[in-house]
Structure 1
Amino acid sequence: MPVWTPKTLLFPFFIALGLIALPDRPLRADSAGYQKTLKSTAWVITSNAENETSAGTGVYVDAEKKLLLTNAHVIGESRKAVVFFPTQTAGKLAVRRKFYLNNILKLGIQGDVVAVDRKRDLALIQLPRVPSGIEAIEMADDSTTPGAKVALVGNPGDSEILWVYTAGTVRSVYQKKFKSTHGEHDFMALETQSPIKPGDSGGPIVDEDGKLVGLAQSFSPQSPLVSFCVDITEIRPMLDSPWKSAPLPAKVLLDEAGIEYTKHASGHYQIDRSVGSKTQAVFVAKNTEYHGRADIRRIWSTVQTTDQAPGETLLMRLMRQNTATKLGAWAVEKTASGYVIFYVAKLDATASDEALESTIDYVARLAAAMEQDLKPKPDQQTAQATLQAWLAE
């Protein structure tokens, strides 16, 4: 064991004093950065077609157009959002959710969702006004680098407190393609060593100068300290590109079109259409599908379920018919109970009410005709025999 002399004792003592004194400047810098970022941060509340609410965070990015940026998964299929900016009460920052909700008429701002990019998991909300003192955040020109210090201001859902500050460090910046519970994503990711919690999504990730370098998106299921953010190099193109209108939820679109429906046990929407003397059930998918900036609404009708796989001749005939149909195609799907033959159309999810109704009618008529053809005849015992007889005619 070493023998410590007074000289060796003094050295670590002064180092310790330095460690105590040095944080004064970084702490003041962090506080100033927090106050600066706070002026651009918002609490975002949305509601889906089933009146289920969700909440997240957003960042004010354009004062001229009054645009708030958040994640697409925060918005979901909602086309309206209630936005709260931080305010003070009794000279102090109000941080409790209940305070804002109790003062919603005074503090809440209803915004319109004007653009959604699901691939990047970004969405824009346009606001009619913003409170005084709110400022559009300054954006970095390019990506930050590994090892850089960053910070987040967010609204974690597991807390009654808003405007929570979280510090972190950049681990890496790279192209990330992955699936989440919110869909398929492909964007330049800013990976950080800092916890992001549900509710923080859409919050600003800022560098030491207070400039926006990313948007909080998700956290790793393997490590809660590893978080993924949308890099600034994805945010700038989103803001600069022409906005594509965000599609309405299926329920809202059906309601606005005056189309009667029932909600199926699967969650999809069932429309019963009369075709001649029979009723054909047509389904509209509850969620939209997308590829890049293309949003698609799926509409289909089941024709037959059988425990035997359709023969090669039938499949070839269905393929030939697919080349002649105006929209959509015949499909065969294997399920746990057998094989399903159905007709499916995929419509632009931003198409008009009239286009939706026309597509539903088209799917109903085509499916009803095929179902009639496949129906067993009196002298035949099985659906497979009907298929063979029908193909032989």
Structure 2
Amino acid sequence: MLVRPRVAEGHGTPPDDYRPRCCDEVFSAAHKDLPMDVTAGSPHAHPHRSPGRPFTGAASFAGGARSAVRVVVATVILSCMVSDGTPTRGDETAASKPAAALRALDIEGLADRIRPSVVVITIEGRDGRPLGVGSGFVVSPDGLIATNLHVIGEARPIRVRLADGRKFDVTEVHATDRAMDLAVVRIAARDLPALSLADTRSVRPGRPVVAIGNPLGLELSVVAGVVSGRRDIDGKPMFQLAIPIEQGNSGGPAVDADGKVIGILTLKSALSDNLGFAVDAAALRPLLEKPNPIPIEKWLTIGALDPRRWRTYFGASWRRRAGRIHVQGRGEGLGRRSLCIWQGGVPDGEFDVQVLARLHDDDGAAGLVFHFDGEMRHYGFYPSGGQLRLSRFDGPDVFSWRVLREVPGKAYRPGDWNALRVHIRGAHVECYCNGHRVITFDVQSYSRGQVGLCQFRETEAEFRSFRVGRNLPPLVPTEAEITAIAGLLQDWNHAAGIDPELLARHPQPNDRVRLALIEYARRLERKAERIRKLAGAAHVRSVAEQIARIFDPENESAPDLIRAALLVAALDNPELDVAAYVRQFEAMAEELRNRTAGTKNAAEKLAMLDRYFFEDLGFHGGRTNYYSPANSYLNDVMDDREGLPITLGILYAELGRRIGLALDGVGLPGHFVVRYTPDKGPPVWIDVFDRGKRLTRDQAAAKSRSITGEEPDEHAFAPLPPDRIVERMLRNLIGIAQRREDEAALLRYVEALVALHPDSVPERTFRAYLRYRGEQYDGAIRDIQWLRRHAADQVDLGQLDRLRQAIEAARSD
């Protein structure tokens, strides 16, 4: 039972009038009353239900191990990838100007002039079918075409289609520059309409540009924009363009008002649809002046595998470079499988097959093949999505593919080189990853066949040090070698510097010493990382205990909600000076008391609070980046003067309390408001997120209903006690962490929830799982023991047993 936290602010589907601008949930400031959509599809937490209410959603603990936390940060990506995003403020400005900047430019006439010079470039696979489409343009009437190097790829047949429909096979790769991602190819054509290269030294931001290419297969499409800057990206001089670049645009020209090429479209921004990059056209001149021509016959053999040693099956692109075998592209076999089979044979009897493999995609799959029958059948041992898997393939369809064993990939190092080895002794098979035996199995179906490499799901991977034979030296250092290195370095005086002569006493060859040193360093780094995690866990425990003490029933003083809310922020920021912000809040309260000292009328005090809070201090709803955790951190809200309904409501209500106003926080489903109870008359609900807008009970209910789609019940309008307000803040942060798949943050917030509600079964269950994922194995075991003692009738004991088994297995690894 993988439990999920309830959601406090918001719901799964925003109303029609709340329209997110882009994928990272940045909302326009013009959109009001944005719901907190922290976990799509989750029901809303009711503030007055028991904290022991189970979380929603379920999944197995075993399955949870497959969803490892992934954090991806990108600024630019190759144009062959398409991304949605939000432009930076500067680029929004640039992107909004093309119409004005190009007003005096005859775009239609310019497009008619340059379109005949733009070509479609197609790369073909071994079967003659297109593998990819890009753009290019004529740079010489005698058949020279400029494009990006990544458009033509490597060792593939290249075809060019001119604007008039004529098709030509490329006869020569005239020049290439890998660093600049540029290529010039030749076709057997004459009298072609060539484009001239501009003198780009005078190009400045704001210059109009027009581009023609084949975006997403829409051939010879025209788009206009402006140059918005110059950038140096990975050593390449680039023009930043306020212009969209999509798949198929790569290699196309960006021309100025005179029809001269200022850049070659190359990169698309991951932040904006209307932002791209083009290599400075000046980089093309050296390729035209000093080419390095390669006939297409030789081009097709570059990086090709030696057919005497390797044979590939089921598509994809297998190449050799720098002593490594690289694979990329889509396989055609079952599971988008592709194979590269060793032609050197295998020994009789007992033997090993091993390789060092590095996957460029943690979600991918690639590894070793053995007992291949030359057609469809074989076994495979490979990492797959963070797991290690032994599979059998009996044929071409999904019904003939069987996963024999799958284990957590504790020994596997994502993004690094991993030593995969299969030891075969008759029907008995042992699979190793980085020296750790992870799978043993007795194979029955096939006991002989070829060995080699496999790739699945378009995974990009590389392999080196492939070996097959008896008594092979291990690819990774043995425990004895690592122990010897550790002993050798035990008395090393680090301050004396690095002296390679220190290693002269080691009995192993230098290459084995190097491997042992690297592995020993890796273990020290892992130990240091665990020490840092221990420091973080100690901090979280201290903060959670402080929060719990504030709301301890035996505490004689009234709960300090401001301090508690600041401690919630301190869970994520160990350097936060909570006491300093408490003093800052008290200074605000003192200033407000001085302003209202001569006022006894409560309504006047409330109006003065509004002026002080919204006008003088400038607090407002955080609509621009509603889902930012900063909107839940009270210190950031105090610094930036913007936040969520709940954080603004806490500050507003606590300031009002300091001047004698009867203000209470109310946790309506989907929206937090403040209730003002006057001496006479009905209560008034205040929407602090909307600059203190006053609401009747019916209006408050309508707001909640517009967000959740449900009618709030009577209990929803009752004031929330301070500890429930803090719980609601934590659940908001839990929802944000779930969206970001940040398990470390989830554990921090759940630790605080358990400190608030130590008898809550759902929180304890969720914490046990998160502790396991965070390698806090002893703590996870203690939670399991507590659940068995106190809640055996409320939990799935079988799932708890499986979780405990997973913990013991992780410990042994």
TM-score, with length taken from structure 2: 0.29
| 1:176 Cα deviation after fit | 1.5
TM-score, scaled to structure 1:
0.56
- Answer whether contact 1:218 1:227 (CA < 8 A) is retained: yes
- Verify the 8 A CA contact 2:211 2:255 in the aligned structure 1: yes
Alignment partner of 2:466 out of 295, 301, 304 = 301
Q: Which amino acid aligns with 1:76?
A: G
Name the counterpart of 2:140. 62
Q: Deviations over 1:198-245 (max 9, x none)?
A: 111100110111001100012101111110101012121232234264
CA RMSD of aligned residues (A): 4.3
> What's 2:304 paired with?
253
Residue aligned with 2:508, SS: helix
SS at match of 1:188: strand
Structure 2 residue identity aligned to 1:62: S
Q: For residues 1-393 of structure 1, what are the structure 2 equivalents within 5 Å?
A: 26=104, 29-48=106-125, 53-64=131-142, 66-87=143-164, 107-112=166-171, 114=173, 115-130=175-190, 134-143=192-201, 144-157=203-216, 161-177=218-234, 186-243=235-292, 245=294, 253-254=304-305, 257-262=307-312, 269-273=340-344, 299-302=464-467, 303-304=473-474, 308-309=478-479, 310-311=481-482, 312=485, 317-319=508-510
Amino acid at match of 2:466: S
Summarize the Cα distance change of 1:78–1:32 in structure 2 as closer, same or farther, 3 Å threshold: farther
Q: Which has the larger Rg?
A: 2
Quick one: distance in 2 between partners of 1:53 and 1:271?
26
Alignment partners' CA distance in 1, 2:512 and 2:258:
62
> How far off its partner does 1:152 sit?
0.2
* Contact kept? 1:149, 1:208, Cα under 8 Å: yes
Equivalents in 1 of 2:250, 2:341: separation in Å? 34
Distance 1:59 1:49 in 2: 26
In structure 2, distance between residues paired with 1:30 and 1:156: 18
Residues 316, 61 of structure 1: CA spacing in aligned structure 2 closer, same or farther, 3 A cutoff? farther
Unpaired segments ≥5 residues, structure 1: 1-21, 88-99, 101-106, 178-185, 288-296, 323-328, 339-393
Residue in 2 that maps onto 1:183: none
Gap change, CA 1:241 and 1:319, over 3 Å in 2: farther
Instruction: Give how far 1:81 is off.
Output: 1.2
2:240 and 2:276 in contact (8 A); partners too: yes
CA contact (8 A) 2:145 2:186 kept: yes
User: How far apart in 2 are the matches of 1:150 and 1:238?
Assistant: 24
> Residue deviations 1:326-355, cap 9 Å, x none?
xxx989987xxx9xxxxxxxxxxxxxxxxx
What residue identity is the alignment partner of 1:213? I
Cα 1:298–1:113 change in 2 (3 A) is farther
User: Using a 3 Å threshold, how does the CA distance of structure 1 residues 25 and 243 change in structure 2: closer, same or farther?
Assistant: same
Change (3 A) 1:298 1:23: closer
3-state secondary structure, aligned to 2:200: coil
Counterpart residue identity of residue 200, structure 2: D
Distance 2:263 2:280 in 1: 4
Structure 1 residues 234 and 187: CA distance shift in structure 2, 3 A: same
The more displaced of 43-52 and 302-311 is: 302-311
Displacement of 1:54: 0.4
Sort the Cα spacing of 1:305 and 1:31 in 2 relative to 1 into closer, same or farther, 3 A: same
Structure 2 residue runs of 5 or longer lacking an equivalent are 1-99, 314-326, 332-336, 360-461, 468-472, 486-502, 524-813
Q: Deviations over 1:89-143 (max 9, x none)?
A: xxxxxxxxxxx6xxxxxx211114513322211112110115x6x3111111234
Structure 1 residues 252 and 48, CA gap change in structure 2 (3 angstroms): farther
Say which SS state the counterpart of residue 254 (structure 1) adopts: coil
Give the stretch that moved more between structures: 108-117 or 118-127: 108-117
More strand by proportion, 1 or 2?
1
CA distance 1:238–1:306, change in 2 (3 Å): closer
Instruction: State the distance in 1 between where 2:248 and 2:507 align.
Output: 51
Aligned equivalents of 1:174, 1:23: Cα separation in 2: 21
What letter matches 1:138 in structure 2?
Answer: S
Using the TM superposition, give the Cα deviation of residue 275 of structure 1 relative to its aligned residue in structure 2, in angstroms.
9.0
Query: C-alpha separation between the residues in 1 aligned to 2:507 and 2:125?
Result: 42
Q: State the distance in 1 between where 2:271 and 2:102 align.
A: 35
Q: Which amino acid letter does the alignment assign opposite residue 142 of structure 1? A: T
State the AA in 2 paired with 1:80: P
Q: Tell me which protein shows more helix as a share of its residues.
A: 2
C-alpha contact 1:47 1:81 (8 A) present in aligned 2: yes
Q: Match for 1:111: what amino acid? A: V
Query: Percentage identity across aligned positions?
Result: 24
Task: Give the paired residue count.
Answer: 266
Tell me by how many angstroms 1:167 deviates: 0.5
